């Protein structure tokens, strides 16, 4: 969970806010592997991170200590997408439209 959260550029505080769980609970989950976690809490965390529960539980390659430049760049794209999805729909559409207009003029 920590690796995915960090990959998306989300702090424990922000994840707690988005999931409705406490920072202490999030921190404890990340520090220990033998926690009993309810499905309801997992759903809330996955929803806050905008991923499936399966993705949350899978062993991903986010833990690579030295991410490649490609991984770093995708991380930035993932973070941008996460931030856009976290906005209210009207703001997200406005920001996306502005970004797409900018992209039209770049090569």
Token pair in block for residue 100:
């797409």
Q: Are 51 and 4 in contact (CB under 8 A)?
A: yes
Q: Contact 30/37 with Cβ under 8 angstroms? A: no
Helix (H) or strand (E) holding 76: helix 69-86
Interhelix angle 23-31/39-49, nearest 10 degrees: 100
What is the pTM assigned to this prediction? 0.64
The beta strand positions in 1-107, using DSSP E, are none
pLDDT band at 56 (very low <50, low <70, confident <90, very high): confident
Q: Which residues contact 98 (CB under 8 A, 6 or more apart)?
A: none
What's the confidence (pLDDT) of residue 53?
86
pLDDT above 80 (res 104): yes
If pLDDT is split at 50, 70 and 90, which confidence band does 72 have?
A: low
Residue 65: domain span? 2-104
| Number of structural domains the chain divides into | 1
Q: Rounded to 5 degrees, what are φ and ψ at 68?
A: -70, 170
Which tokens in the block code for residue 78? 């993932």
How confident is the model over 7-26, as pLDDT tens digits? 888 999 999 999 999 999 99
8: CATH: 1.10.260.40
């Amino acid at each position: 969970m920590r690796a995915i959260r960090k990959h998306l550029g989300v702090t424990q505080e922000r994840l707690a806010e988005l999931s409705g769980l406490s920072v202490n609970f999030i921190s404890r989950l990340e520090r220990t592997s033998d926690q009993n976690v309810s499905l309801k809490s997992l759903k809330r965390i996955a929803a806050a991170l905008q991923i499936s529960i399966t993705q949350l539980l899978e062993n991903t390659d986010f833990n690579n200590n030295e991410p490649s430049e490609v991984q770093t760049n995708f991380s930035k794209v993932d973070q941008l997408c996460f931030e856009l999805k976290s906005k209210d729909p009207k703001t997200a559409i406005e920001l996306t439209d502005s970004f797409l207009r900018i992209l039209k003029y770049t090569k």
